[in-house]
Every structure is written in C-alpha cells, then in structure tokens.
Amino acid sequence: MSSVEYNLRTLPTTSITLFPARAQISREVGDVPLQPGTNEVTIIGLSPTTDEHSIKVEGSGEATISNITVERLANTEQFDDVYPDEDEDILSGSDDVDTDDNDDDEDLKEDEELRAAKAERQQIMDSKELTSHRISCLQHNNGALDGYITNVRAEHNTNVEEASEAYQRLRQNNYRGLLAAQADQRHQDELLKRMDAKIRRLTKRHRKQTAQARRQKRLSKLNRVKEQLKASRAEEQRIKEKRRIRTERSKFWPKYVYAVRIQLEVSASLPSHGQTCSLLLSYVTSDAYWAPSYDLQLSTKSATGTLCFDALLTNATSETWDKCKITLSTSQATSSSLADKAPELREWAIKRGGSGVPLLYSREEHQKRTMGASMTKQGKANREAMFGFAANDPRATQDYQMQLMLLEQQNKKRMELARQKQNPGAQGAFPAPPQMQQQSLFGGMQSMQQQAAPTGSGLFGARRSALSQAQEQQAQAQAQQAQAQDLTQHTFDADQFDRTTRARGGMRSYQRALRAEVDEEEEEGYSVSSGDETPREDPNLAFQNSLIEQTGFATVYELQGPKTLAPSSTSAKQRISTIDLSAIKFTHTVVPKLKAAAYLTATIANTSRNILLQGPVGVTLDGGFMGRTTLPRCPGDGAELRLGLGVDHAVRVVYATPEVRRSGGVSYNEERKIYMRSVYVENTHSADSIRLVVKDQVPVSKDERVRVEVLHPDKLRAEHQEDDGKQQQKQEEVAEVGEAGRKADEGQWGRAEVKMLKTGAVDWLVTLRKGRSVRLALSWLVATPLGEEAMQVDH
C-alpha cells in the first residue's frame, strides 16, 4: 500500500467563509502521487477546534475514495522548529561596548605660536641675566678702583698723577659700560613685559580651546553612554516584544490535532508511474468568526451622515490561512445547530405550601439557567485543554532564561563601563539602591516566585507518584496547566530582571553626572534651527469595499483580493461598505418629571440594500466624538432606526415645583384638589430651530369614586372625560398650546401641539426656534370622597 503524508500548514487555502459563530475552510491537495492498488493519504495538523463530523473530502482524478477516517493525535511538532528563535544578534551586539578609559582632564598640546613665545621669553630672560651679571661686574670693578686709589701713598713709589689719570680713565670706561648695561636691562624688561602679555593672551586662548575640547569630549562620552543606554533599552524592549510574541503564539499552539486518513483505490490496469489526483478538503471550525462594527458620522446642520460598515475578523484557531479568498456570511446555521429543537413547555403544577420565597421561576427555568452557566465554563475549560504548552514541558521557561542570561551579560559590561567612568571619590553620588527599595520594587515578583516554588516543583520536572496523579481530577489538572502558563509568563527570573534594572539605573546615574558637569562648563548655549518646511497635502486614503450578495435568508460579503488571517488575540478590521445617509431627523425627548434634560435622538433611514446587523458603533456628531453605543439591527430599502445620542446640554430644561390647591367650588360629598405643573424649555443653539417631544402625565383613576379631570390644556379636558370608545377616535386630534417663556419671545418662539393617550401620558410636540423659550403648563383636578385622599396603586 502506497502512503503519503501532508502537513496542513503546507497546504494552500483556497477559500474561507466566516459565519457569526464559525468558519468553513477549504484546502487543496494537488498532485497526489498514485500507485496501482490501495493508496493512503494522511493530512495531519487540523486545529483542535475543528468539528470532526464536518470534514468532507472531494477530488478529481483516476481514483476512487474508499474510506475516510478522522483521528485525534497528540501534537508532535516542536514549537522551536515551527517558530525558530535566533539570538546571534544578541551575542554579536554584546561585544560592541566602548571601554575607552582616556583621561577626561588631559589637556591639548600647546600650539606652535605659544611654544615660540615661551622660547623667546626664555631667551629674553637669559639676556637679562647676562646684563645683570655685567652690571654687577662693572659695579665690582668700580669698587675695586675706589679702593685702589684710596690706598695710594707716596711711600709706594707710585706716580700719583699717573695713577689718578688711570683711575679716571678706567672709572669713566666702567661707567659707560654700566650705563649701556642698564639701558639694555630696561629694554629687556620692556621686551619681557610685551612677551608676558603675549603669552597670557595665547595661554588664555589655549585654555579656552582646552576647555572646549574637554567639553566636546565629555559630550561625546555622554552621547556614547546615551547610545549604549538606548541600545540597552532597545535590546530589552526587543526581548520583551519577543516574549510577547512567543506568549501570543503559545496561546494558539495545539496540544492535539486532527488527522484525516483517505484511502484511494486505483485500478491495476493504469500505469504505475505518473498518475496523480487532486483532493479538496473542507471542514468547519469554531473560534473563527466575524462580527460587525460601525463608525457613524452625523451632521446636525445638513441632516446628513456617513456610516462605515466594517467587519472584525477573528481567528483563534491554530491554523494560518494565507492569501486566500475570504467570504463573510450572516447565516447562523452550522452543522451542530441542526440538532437544536424548539423547547416544549410542560405543565407548571403548583400546590399550597408553607411561607417562603414567591414562586417566580419554574424548575425548568432554573435548570436552563444552571445548564447555560456550566456550558460557558466548560467551553473555557475545553480551550485550555486544546492550546498551550503541557505542564511538564521545559520549553515554557528554557527560552526565556537563555534570553535573559544573554541580556544580563550585556548589561554587566555596560555596568562595568559606567563604574569605570565614575570618579574614584564619587562613589557616594551613585549609591546602590537600599534593600528596602529593592523589596518595594521587586518584592511582588520575588514573593510570587516563592509562592510558586512548591507548585513549580511539581509542574516542571519533579516526579510524582502514579497513584497521586491518578487520584487528581481533570479539572485540577487543567487548573494547574493554566497556573503553570501564568507562572511561566510572570515568574521566569526575577533576580536577573533585578540586576538588569540596576545596571540600567547605574547608566542613568552616570549619564546625569556627565550632563551636570557639561552644564557647569558650558558658557554659551547651542541651538539648532531648521528651515521652514511647507507641509504637502496628501490625498485621502480610500478603502476597498466588498461585494454584497443576497442569498435567501443570508447576506454574503465577498472581500476583494486575497487576504491572510493568522491566529491572534485581536481582531482584524476590514471595510465592507460606506453608506451615505440623508434626511436624518434629529429630535429631542424631554421627560422633565424624572430628569430635567433633553435627550437627542437621531432617526436614520437605511436607504441602501445592506442589512445592518446589531453591533458596536462609534458616533461622531458635528466633528466631535461622542462615544460608542450599540447599533440595532435594521433592514435596508428605507427602513428606519433610532439611535440615542445622549443629553444635549444646549437645551435648557427647568421643571417647576408641583403645586396643589383646593378647588373653589362647593361640594358636600367630595373633596376637590387642583394640581399644577409646568416645564420651561429654552433653545440656546446657534443653528436653526429644533424639534422636541416633551412628555408628562396625569393620573388615571382605577376607582370609580375617584374622578380625574384635566383643566389645562383646555381641549384635553373634554377628550379625557369621554368614554373609551370615543376617546380612541379623539386621540388623533392635537391642540396648539404653549406660551412664551419670556416676554421678549412672545409670538416668535415657535409652535407646540399636545395630545394625550388613554394611559394618561401627555405629549407636547414642540418646534422651538433658536434662542427662544417656551413654557408648557399642565393642570388637573382630582375629586375624592370627603375625608379620603388619592393614593398610587402598585403595579
């Protein structure tokens, strides 16, 4: 028997039909090799959410389908093989740490001009020393001559006259030399003064250049530290994003899958090579559906609007449907709902019993409510049994620990760099965080690890006895699996995260220190100005609308172009159509008896062929977002829907305090009282007039000895006194009532009509102009027997 196996992930998806609760998938298996005799084709990897009874196989080719079986198998694929995890970028990036330890205080070398000036000054100093030495020698010679001439005696056989002439000649020569030396010394002092001024000027310039170079060097170092801190944050963010993606994918990692085995019979008379056939696999799965979503933009000035009809596509299965045709259907029929039958009512028999709770619900109603709650919990528990990692799977923590170990090594090097950059005596400026602070910041995570330690030892590797495992119930196992996944996500390694955060804290401290030093040395600010840029107006983006088709009881929307729908916790939004609304009616409803406010309501006519399903809608009124509400179901072809828009604060409503007084008439067998109420409505809108429906009521007598008579408005008085048959005809008539709320509004406020229903409800239909006000009054008489008062009857 020839056999071939296909993984569902490698098979192309031809089409998807999404329903409000399920989805129907079609996949194609092309060019299946055939051999004469029996051939077995296995398709493995169907999502656990697949309805195994809905699987159908069709095909074309020289073969006959003899048998189809569906099996439930454990998922033998490796998560890391399907979603490979590469960490070479972390390893390569961990060595790119700058460890330059050059002295920040190293000055620049003196330039040639300064060195030449200092050398010239030294030459002048040397010449000055020689001049000083010459002056000293001449002065010493003069002293020697003075001593010699003083000691000359006649007894020395010395010619005094010759000695005196020689003395004068030598003394004069010495004096000339002394004057010349002193002149040279003064000239040298002047040169030295000028040279000192030049050296001071050059030294000042050199110090300024040195300070600027030192500032630039520290700015460069600050930028390096900022880049390293930025890289550290980016790396940590990348790992967090990687962890988030892994956690998201693990939510849809199947614990078991379905396999479809198809047996094909091929005639022995056909050639043994080159025979193929094509198969079409279709099935229905849950946890994949679509839901409507709307965006409504209304304008009260033009009484128009735009309704954007979107579809939220959800895929919570383990399958990815890549580049396929997607069709949306409003049909609620699925293969499993055909067995649902209309419930039957049994006899609700009761008997007399003791005192207790009133018999509000029957036994069948209680059973229905309990069954519905248990089915909801069971559906959630079933999904936990379908997806995620097993409780004893080491993959749940191995990948996270490897990533954090690499990140810790990288941050360790950055921490050493930050410590090397600090001054030796500046240790007090960057103290380690105190123990109390560490506990407040990370104590919750550490305590979570401590609490999870006993459970984790049982979930991640510690062997338990087979007897204890057999005694555990299935619900407890599912709860432990959920707890293990939660611990995997939150308590992977609190200590490593603590060290990483401290490393980042040291980098930030060093960065602040460098910034403080640079700010102290800066004398001038630097500003960077950019040129004026004129923004270019881009055209508005357009959406792809869907093709709409009415098929019997359902509406089908075909999305344009191939789409990809991957498993995700969020829904993808696709535009179905955009509907232009016209002739929208805006009305205000006021029930001042219960709340003095005007509620705005929009009556919208759906003139399109689209059937609007019930769904959430975001409402924008006159350019301002109002909020989100629920759009009711509305068929097309002119059907209307009413949408409440909340309180309109531009309409002022004041409900006067109710008054009561005795009637002035004389009656000996009954007591009469007149009740008076009024409401004041003011339109502060700057636009045109508005339409309001003001609702109030008069009491309705349920006792033949209690009489109610409407006094104002006058026309309602006669209508209310008629019998039921005549009153039903007169209810269609309306009376113009109302008075201006202010004297300035008399004759200009608008108009109002009033009508009363059999239930005692009084409705004023008011058209109120902008900036005007109206006062609506209502009064009635209640007559009761003497000594008795009217009271309300409980429903």
Model confidence at 608, in pLDDT bands (50, 70, 90)? confident
Tally of domains within the chain: 2
CA distance 609 to 563: 25
Residue 764 inside a domain? The answer is yes
Model confidence at 691, in pLDDT bands (50, 70, 90)? very high
Residue 531 inside a domain? The answer is no
At 463 the pLDDT is: 34
Question: Residue 192: which of 138, 133, 129 has the closest Cα?
Answer: 129
Where are the extended beta strands (E) located within 435-558? 547-551, 554-558
Average pLDDT over all residues of the chain: 76
Most confident of 488-492, 524-528, 642-646, 787-791: 642-646
Q: Of residues 61 and 346, which shows the higher confidence score?
A: 61
Say if residue 70's pLDDT is above 70: yes
Q: Of residues 69 and 154, which shows the higher confidence score?
A: 69
CATH number (domain holding residue 118): 1.10.287
- Residues 700-728: tens digit of each pLDDT: 998 888 899 999 888 775 444 444 444 44
- Residues 552-565: tens digit of each pLDDT: 567 889 998 899 99
At 473 the pLDDT is: 41
- Residues 181-232: tens digit of each pLDDT: 888 889 888 998 998 998 899 889 988 988 999 999 999 999 999 999 999 9
Q: Which of 153, 187, 218 is where one domain is finished?
A: 218
pTM: 0.64
Residue 447 inside a domain? The answer is no
Q: Of residues 31 and 488, which shows the higher confidence score?
A: 31
Domain limits for position 745: 652-785
DSSP single-letter state for residue 109: P
Q: Of residues 389 and 475, which shows the higher confidence score?
A: 389
Query: Largest Cα–Cα distance of the chain, in whole Å?
Result: 182
Residue 29 inside a domain? The answer is no
Residue 361 inside a domain? The answer is no
Which of 388-392, 422-426, 535-539, 569-573 shows the lowest per-residue confidence on average (mean pLDDT)?
Answer: 422-426
Residue 116 inside a domain? The answer is yes
The three-state secondary structure class of 84 is coil
- Residues 72-110: tens digit of each pLDDT: 999 999 888 888 875 544 444 444 445 455 555 556 688
Residue 81 inside a domain? The answer is no
Which of 284-293, 347-356, 368-377, 431-440 shows the lowest per-residue confidence on average (mean pLDDT)?
Answer: 431-440
CA distance 774 to 748: 10
Residue with structure tokens 């299935």? 474
Q: Is the peptide bond before 713 cis (omega within 30 degrees of 0)?
A: yes
Residue 705 inside a domain? The answer is yes
Residue with structure tokens 């009874």? 53
The three-state secondary structure class of 59 is strand
Say if residue 391's pLDDT is above 70: no
Q: How far is CA 147 from CA 142, 151, 159, 377, in A?
A: 9, 6, 17, 131
Kind and range of the H or E element at 575?
strand 572-581
Q: Which of 194, 218, 242 is where one domain is finished?
A: 218
At 786 the pLDDT is: 86
CA distance 459 to 491: 14
Q: Which of 218, 244, 264 is where one domain is finished?
A: 218
Say if residue 648's pLDDT is above 90: yes
Give the pLDDT mean for 144-150: 76
